[in-house]
Amino acid sequence: MRHPSDGVLRRLLDEPAGVSDADRAHLTGCPQCLGTLATMRTDATALDSALAPQGSPDVDAAWRRLSAATAEPERVATPARAGRFRPAMRRPVVAAVAAAVVLTGAGTAAANDWLQIFRTEQVQPVALSTADLIALPDLSAYGDVVVTGDGDLRTVDDAAAAEAESGLELPEVADLPRGISGEPTYQVGSEISATFTFSADRAAQAAAAAGETLPPAPAGLDGATVRMVAGPGVAQAWESSAGVPALVVGRAVAPTAYSSGVPFETVRDHLLSLPGLPDDVAAQLSTFTADGGTLPLPVPSDRVSTSTAEVDGVQATVLGLDELSMSAVVWVDEGVVTAVAGSLDVDEVLSVAQGLR
Amino acid sequence: MELIRHGGARAAAALAAPGAVGGISAGRAVGRERGAVSRSSPGAVRADLEDVFRRDYPLVVGVAARVLGSRDQAEDVAQDVFLSFGHSAVPAGEARGWLSVAAAHTALNLLRSGRRRASREEFSAVAQDAVVSDVADAVVTREERRRVRTALAQLPRKQAVALVLRHSGLSYTEVAAALDLSPGSVGTTVRRAESALRKELNRHASSL
């Protein structure tokens, strides 16, 4: 009779009832499986001890701490969540910089209706130290941020479905790098938008709480609204033989911003003057020209090396995360941003990017 | 605004994030954000937060502590996870799995980033090792605990999370649902992780 799989044997240790009668019956008469089971038990017990936490938490004290955190108006809008540990993705600086991006697209005066004021044309890494990422103010302290759309990624069956759902042409990888093979999984995300309404009161409060003096808000800024839209997007991911995602090729409709209300230079300059934004970053951002549509990509300068390269006739930004043996290349062409990232070196990632069809 | 956070995670996957290694964690990050984006007003906290918190806080701390080995850090992670949950629209029935997975990922990211702070707790752990009376603790030295966590950080993410969730007391069905695995493959995944970690422990033990 066929031996039960390792997975079945492992479950037998924890949940005998979850294993079929036939498998259990097999086991009683099979010294080989019993031997395997004994090894598994030893391993599981040893690891359980090695991982076991010490002591038990004080739930009441922890609840008081959480209640305090949810009661602070400046904090509720952006729960600290995983963000503290993933600076580049989650920190408020991303918000601040994103707003600045939007606003640097300015150039047009006020309009009564939504007016496109920014369309991503290229990407530019903005180097920040990790400490800066933690120190920067959160935009939600300066007004209301409302996000609409579902930020979730859905897995779809194949390339055709991915293209149909996203409306984007899926980049086709000509040659997979060495060590990567098989079929990718396909994921699709729908459009999402964010609206930021500036509030002078909130901004003043936030500044006061931080012990800073806010520069006086220009006339007309209170209540001004900026709306940003991004997506839909599509991604294909390959796993290495070890099951780790080894290569991701993604494409999305690049961020575009619209506004109603005050002139953009006004909002931009004010945001850039907010306390907390390091001078050099502010200077860097303010040089992004109005018509360039440059999307700044905040990266921790102490961890990521950046360079540029040409992909398909367009300038691309190349990021290397040496400590994680990861690289990424990202570029924008006609309002569509494409990224190739993976546990590969820079040359391999670039070669995939340049070989996309 | 949250534009780069969402758009970036989707468009550029692993692009800007040390810690967001490839599709799984980036996908996870977006998934975890799902609840947060659906809130209608910034201050709203879901009504069942306290009930869920009181029921699942020890579990969530346990998950993070298994990864980090430090209860102080694990409690910090748990606070972050519940704060996110409080603003999310995750269905109550899925809360336990969602919280556990979020805690495991957050803790693994922290472990991986290597930015572990030297806490009082680690000093007291040294002291405890010196006077430990529990047999299991005597066998598993602090050095072994450290090594097992180093190895845990290097496992494929899904294996690491499955292992930690299982050892934190989630059933095979719960682990399968939380990680989008078939119930049949949970045992295989957990076993692979245990086998790899045990090998790591033994390798060091025999080289001592």
Task: Check B79 against A243: CB less than 8 A apart.
Answer: no
pLDDT, position B144: 78
Task: Check B2 against A57: CB less than 8 A apart.
Answer: no
pLDDT at A190 over 70: yes
pLDDT at A18 over 70: yes
- Find the CB nearest A246 among B22, B84, B195: B22
Helix (H) or strand (E) holding A208: helix A200-209
Q: Which residue has the higher pLDDT, B171 or B202?
A: B171
Q: Which residue of A has its CA nearest to B55?
A: A59
Q: How far apart are CA A331 and CA A123, in angstroms?
A: 6
Task: Check A152 against B30: CB less than 8 A apart.
Answer: yes
Task: Check A89 against B163: CB less than 8 A apart.
Answer: no
Q: Which residue has the higher pLDDT, A233 or B185?
A: B185
**Residue A176 CA from chain centroid, whole number:** 24
Task: Check A76 against B42: CB less than 8 A apart.
Answer: yes
Q: Does A17 touch chain B (CB under 8 A)?
A: no
pLDDT, position A157: 87
Query: What are the backbone dihedrals phi and psi of residue A253, each rounded to the nearest 5 degrees, phi first?
Result: -65, 125
- Domain spans of chain B? 1-37, 38-207
pLDDT, position B82: 92
pLDDT at B23 over 50: no
Q: For the residues A44-72, what does the mean pLDDT come to?
A: 86
Q: Which residue has the higher pLDDT, A108 or B203?
A: B203
Q: How far apart are CA B194 and CA B186, in angstroms?
A: 12
pLDDT, position A259: 67
Q: Which residue has the higher pLDDT, B88 or A354?
A: A354
pLDDT at B194 over 70: yes
- CA atoms B208, B134, A36, B167: torsion sign: negative
pLDDT at B128 over 50: no
pLDDT, position A113: 41
Q: Tell me which residues of chain A, numbers 334 to 353, contact chain B at a CB-CB cutoff of 8 Å.
A: 337-339, 341-343
Distance from CA of A242 to the nearest CA of B (A): 7
Q: How far apart are CA B121 and CA A294, in angstroms?
A: 46
pLDDT, position B133: 39
Q: Hey, of B6, B147, B201, B204, which one would you mutate to test binding to chain A, going by the most A CBs within 10 A of its CB?
A: B6
Model confidence at B3, pLDDT cuts 50, 70, 90, reads: very low
pLDDT per position as a tens digit, A212-225: 677 777 776 777 77
Task: Check A343 against B30: CB less than 8 A apart.
Answer: no
Q: How much is the mean pLDDT over chain A?
A: 72
**Residue A125 CA from chain centroid, whole number:** 15
Model confidence at B16, pLDDT cuts 50, 70, 90, reads: very low
pLDDT, position A107: 24
Q: Which residue has the higher pLDDT, B33 or A338?
A: A338
pLDDT, position B62: 95
pLDDT, position A134: 47
pLDDT, position B202: 78
b/e burial code for range B156-186 (CB count within 10 A of at least 16 → b): bbbbbbbbbbbbbebebebbbbbbebebebb
Distance from CA of B12 to the nearest CA of A (A): 5
pLDDT at A173 over 50: yes
Model confidence at A238, pLDDT cuts 50, 70, 90, reads: confident
Q: Does A11 touch chain B (CB under 8 A)?
A: yes
Highest average pLDDT, of A185-189, B12-16, B27-31, comes from A185-189
Which of A9-18, A70-79, B161-170 has the lowest average pLDDT? A70-79
Task: Check B32 against A255: CB less than 8 A apart.
Answer: no
**Residue B66 CA from chain centroid, whole number:** 8
Q: For the residues A259-266, what does the mean pLDDT come to?
A: 62
Q: How far apart are CA A218 and CA A214, in angstroms?
A: 12
* Chain A residues close to B196, C-beta within 8 Å: none
Q: For the residues B168-179, what does the mean pLDDT come to?
A: 91
8 Å CB contact between A90 and B1? no
Q: For the residues B85-103, what does the mean pLDDT come to?
A: 88
pLDDT, position B63: 96
Percent of chain A with pLDDT over 70: 59
pLDDT, position B175: 93
pLDDT per position as a tens digit, A21-32: 888 888 888 889
Q: Tell me which residues of chain B, numbers 60 to 119, contact chain A at a CB-CB cutoff of 8 Å.
A: 61-62, 65-66, 69, 71, 74-76, 78-84, 86-87, 102, 105-106, 109-110, 113, 115
Q: How many CB pairs under 8 A join A and B?
A: 331
Per DSSP, helices labelled H in chain B are 3, 9-12, 22-37, 49-68, 71-86, 95-113, 120-131, 135-139, 142-154, 157-167, 172-179, 183-207
Percent of chain B with pLDDT over 90: 32
ipTM of the complex: 0.71
Which of A168-177, A200-209, B97-106 has the lowest average pLDDT? A200-209
Q: For the residues A344-349, what does the mean pLDDT come to?
A: 86
pLDDT at A295 over 80: no
Q: Does B163 touch chain A (CB under 8 A)?
A: yes
